[in-house]
Structure 1
């Protein structure tokens, strides 16, 4: 009798949509993993794409790769659920296609799941930005603040940082119902909240910080994304009304009140996602003439105002906001010299 194949200890689930320009670097990094136990990679191709299929066909031969094709793209949450359904590993590791894991990534995740206690692991991501006015004025400092904030998050707030690089046991993920496919943004932290309420202990591993290659590279993209991120909170509030807080107290001090007033006034000029993108384009032009410090303040003001406008004017129907991701992918592919549409 032939021995039964040993089930994988972990499945790395990679959702990808028009990600041909992203995948080669990720696949090479996954092929370099040093793991003593059996493991696998499930790449979910979210909608037909010949360029993505070609990139996967050139994946390193030693990579334990499974490819799942979805007949139509319905968003990252549905793609992640499809990846979980196909996974055979005890632990499911989410790793988005624009991340670059170190060789010990899978091993470090598995180490957190040795016992019976249900644990969810967050690996923070650090944006890798091309040099330019946006990166110098705002982007690089913003990503460092973001990473520091994730690393310092109290245990009760870690769910807010459940994002592109996480792990949890597959049975636990299935028990809470997986990702909510109605979300186009914030599908990750919404799942994190349900895991937290299910009794899963969520932790942040500072040794699992990964480079993130898909971050906004200009103010137009950042401001437009801030608007749709704010809009996603409308659906989040419907799903979890108990998370909606009362209006924040009136800012103390003249400077804080002036800033809040400026944010409110600027938010009033952005009733739509398109208006936020237009404002971002204006900011990009300003970045070419302003000194670095005031330029950073201008970007911060526009981003905060766009998020507030999205919360005020956004719709719980998030399908329309998927176009933002397509615009971002077009820009990435153009910079990378990859296929465009």
Structure 2
């Protein structure tokens, strides 16, 4: 059996799309989907109950929001399958999704599989000037990454077997806010001896939530903060994809200066870019967005592993 674990928070509308996609899967094996509701108060539970009459899906309701690592752990604990797929609730898997993930594990427990995102991007100031290009560049960089560093890209479209999951252990609930709970697990997966691969055929349509400069900058701050927790836990790691800035340039000097601004000022700046950036030449808008995102990430790293709880609002 293959189990699909879906962490979800306020994802009723997203789940309608995802569960319909799962209903179209072409498989020759038994499968199940477990949706973990992490404090959802929308119609998510009703959506799952409706689809349970059509496909093998069930809910695990945590009642209150406990964070993605806790939701993932609850889902994997409830799963019955030998193959375990993590599928975030904003994905829209193609009909071969379950079969393609499962095929990698048919003869071995020693592999971890990553699928990339094919972002479905609405036209906003952020996506037009920066987001679409940044995502395409990211996917190219992943495909060019040596196998020993692919753990860095463990995220919301991935799979292992139950044997390997039990060897690695649960997701670390210390990563309470946005980011790095999956990177931490991917790193531990690599340490456990798994061979990690990226399957280009598993690139999956993704309704990305990061469609404004403000949202992306908030996420960059929280991700930067979580990165310091990773470093506290594991120490420096051999990772050429590290985003740490090593050299002083005019650009990095500007990023460092902007990172010193209070969070409220950086958020106001991001909102200003979203509101009026379309009036500027695209190159200037792209630089302003990059400055906002990169300085927020640097500010998060300076903040350390305990960011202000209020800064996660809207992420």
Under a length normalisation based on structure 2, what TM-score does the superposition of the two structures give?
Answer: 0.93
Please give the alpha-carbon distance, in whole angstroms, between the structure 2 residues aligned to 1:142 and 1:248: 18
Structure-to-structure mapping, 1:1-341, within 5 angstroms? 8=1, 10-59=2-51, 61-183=53-175, 184=177, 185-243=179-237, 249-251=246-248, 257-270=249-262, 272=263, 274-314=264-304, 316-317=305-306, 320=309, 324=312, 327-328=314-315
Task: Identify which range, 94-103 or 109-118, moves more after superposition.
Answer: 109-118
Task: Identify which range, 283-292 or 160-169, moves more after superposition.
Answer: 283-292
Please give the alpha-carbon distance, in whole angstroms, between the structure 1 residues aligned to 2:69 and 2:29: 28
Q: CA deviation at 1:237?
A: 1.2
Q: Please give the secondary structure, in 1, of the residue aligned with 2:197.
A: strand
Please give the alpha-carbon distance, in whole angstroms, between the structure 1 residues aligned to 2:109 and 2:166: 16
Q: Please give the secondary structure, in 2, of the residue aligned with 1:327.
A: coil
Q: CA deviation at 1:129?
A: 1.6
Superposed CA RMSD in Å reads: 2.0
Give a deviation string over 1:260-313, Cα, whole Å, max 9, x none.
11111111114x3x4432221122234122111221121112111111111012
Task: Identify which range, 13-22 or 238-247, moves more after superposition.
Answer: 238-247
Q: CA deviation at 1:109?
A: 0.5
Q: CA deviation at 1:207?
A: 0.6
8 Å Cα contact 1:224/1:280 also seen in 2:
no
8 Å Cα contact 1:263/1:304 also seen in 2:
yes
Give a deviation string over 1:102-134, Cα, whole Å, max 9, x none.
000010011110123410000011322211222
Q: Please give the secondary structure, in 2, of the residue aligned with 1:98.
A: coil
8 Å Cα contact 2:225/2:301 also seen in 1:
yes
Q: CA deviation at 1:244?
A: 8.4
Please give the alpha-carbon distance, in whole angstroms, between the structure 2 residues aligned to 1:170 and 1:318: 33
Provide structure 2 residue ranges, at least 5 long, that are not aligned to the other structure: none
Please give the alpha-carbon distance, in whole angstroms, between the structure 2 residues aligned to 1:130 and 1:105: 24
Structure 1 residues 50, 264: closer, same or farther in 2, change over 3 A?
closer
Under a length normalisation based on structure 1, what TM-score does the superposition of the two structures give?
Answer: 0.86
Larger-Rg structure: 1
Number of residues of Structure 1 aligned to a counterpart in Structure 2:
310
Give a deviation string over 1:193-245, Cα, whole Å, max 9, x none.
00001101000010111122133111111111111111111211111113288
Task: Identify which range, 144-153 or 155-164, moves more after superposition.
Answer: 144-153
